[in-house]
Chain A
Amino acid sequence: MNQLLSDPVFQAAIAPFAAALIAGALLNLAGWFWPGLSITVGFYISTWLAVGLDVFPLTSTHKIILLGVAAILVGIALDVYKGPRLYLPVLLFVAGAAAAVWILWPVLVRNGGLPSWGLGAGAGLYAGWLLACSAGLRSRPLPAAVMALALALGTGVSAVFGSAVLLGQMGASMAAAAGAYILLGLFLPRQNAGSILVTPVALLCALLGVSGVVYAKLPWPALLILSVIPLLSYVPLREGKAAWIRVLTLMLILLPVAGVAILVTRHITGPLPPL
Chain B
Amino acid sequence: MRKLHLALILMCVPSVSFAAQEHFTIDPLHTFPNFTVNHLGFSTMHGRFDKTKGTITMDKDAKTGSVDVVIDASSISTGFNKRDDDLLAPGFLDAVEFPDITYKSTKVSLNDDASSGTVKGNLTIKGVTKPVTLAIDRIHCGINPMDPKKQQYRCGFNATGKIMRSDFNVKAGLPLIGDELDLSFEVEAIRD
Contacts and interface: CB of A to CB of B under 8 A. Distances in A.
A57 B96 contact: no
A107 B96 contact: yes
A274 B175 contact: no
| Chain B facing A: main interface SS | loop
Contact of A60 (B85, B97, B171): B97
A106 interface: yes
Nearest to B78: A274
B91 A166 contact: yes
A167 B176 CA distance: 18
| Residue with the highest number of chain A CB atoms closer than 10 Å, among B88, B97, B128, B175 | B97
| Residue with the highest number of chain A CB atoms closer than 10 Å, among B90, B91, B177 | B90
Contacts of A7: 176
Contacts of A57: 126-128, 169
Contacts, number: 86
Contacts of B126: 57, 59
Given A107-B96, A274-B83, A216 B172 contact: no
Nearest to A51: B171
Contacts of A8: 173, 176
A214 B97 CA distance: 9
Given A51-B91, A57-B128, A163 B97 contact: no
Interface of B: 40, 80-83, 85-86, 88-92, 94, 96-98, 126-128, 169, 171-177
In order of increasing CB-CB distance, the 8 nearest A-B pairs are A166-B91, A163-B85, A273-B86, A216-B89, A164-B89, A51-B171, A273-B82, A61-B90
Interface of A: 2, 6-8, 50-52, 54, 57, 59-61, 106-107, 163-167, 211, 214-217, 270-275
